[in-house]
């Protein structure tokens, strides 16, 4: 997650799942191109009934992965409007959700999962916004974001909202 804009009255954070985008592009574009190149050098593959379907299948899998898991998320904290706007950017449309800043009770780094048979360094953490009414908003920080990166995001949000560290 990156800080896009930070002023005294506005904080904009954006998460773009570039690793998912690369994987989807590899599955949808690179793998079918390699299969087509393989069929050009081995013409007997074109006579197998399943080979063209195999190329279309991998293109469809990559496109489906992009549509399902490739959404970008933007968090906009605005003190002037007293609102938190969360935008989930998907290819067909954008879903927008708004919360009042006064509804944010706390911003924390919580333990998401932990492998009991290994040490504490294998624990997975996630940033969360605790809202009034026992609601929880999980921050999308990325698959490979380290604990320090997630702590830095939580600290930036807490400082912007004027909460104690």
Q: Model confidence over 132-154: pLDDT tens digits?
A: 888 888 888 877 778 888 888 88
Cβ count within 10 A of residue 60: 14
Percent above pLDDT 90 for the chain: 14
Give the separation between CA 87 and CA 73, rounded to whole angstroms. Answer: 6
- pLDDT above 70: residue 115: no
For 144, residues 6+ apart whose C-beta sits below 8 A from its C-beta are 19
- pLDDT above 60: residue 128: yes
DSSP state of 9: S
* Element containing residue 137 per DSSP (H, E): strand 135-138
Q: Which whole number is the average pLDDT over 10-19?
A: 88
Give the separation between CA 2 and CA 138, rounded to whole angstroms. Answer: 16
């Amino acid at each position: 997650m990156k800080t896009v804009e930070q002023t005294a009255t506005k904080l904009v954070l954006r998460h773009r799942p570039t690793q998912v985008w690369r994987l989807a592009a590899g599955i949808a574009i690179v793998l079918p191109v390699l299969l087509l190149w393989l069929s050009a050098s081995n013409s007997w593959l074109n006579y197998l009934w399943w080979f063209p379907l195999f190329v279309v299948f991998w293109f469809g899998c990559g496109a489906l992965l992009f549509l399902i898991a490739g959404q970008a998320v933007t968090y906009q904290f605005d003190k002037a409007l007293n609102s938190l706007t969360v935008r989930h950017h998907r290819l067909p449309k954008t879903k927008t959700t708004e919360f009042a800043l006064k509804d944010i009770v706390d911003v924390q780094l919580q333990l998401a999962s932990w492998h009991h048979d290994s040490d504490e360094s294998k624990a997975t953490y996630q940033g969360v916004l605790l809202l009034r009414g026992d609601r929880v908003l999980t921050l999308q920080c990325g698959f490979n974001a380290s604990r320090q990166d997630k702590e830095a995001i939580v600290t930036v949000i807490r400082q912007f909202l004027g909460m104690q560290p």
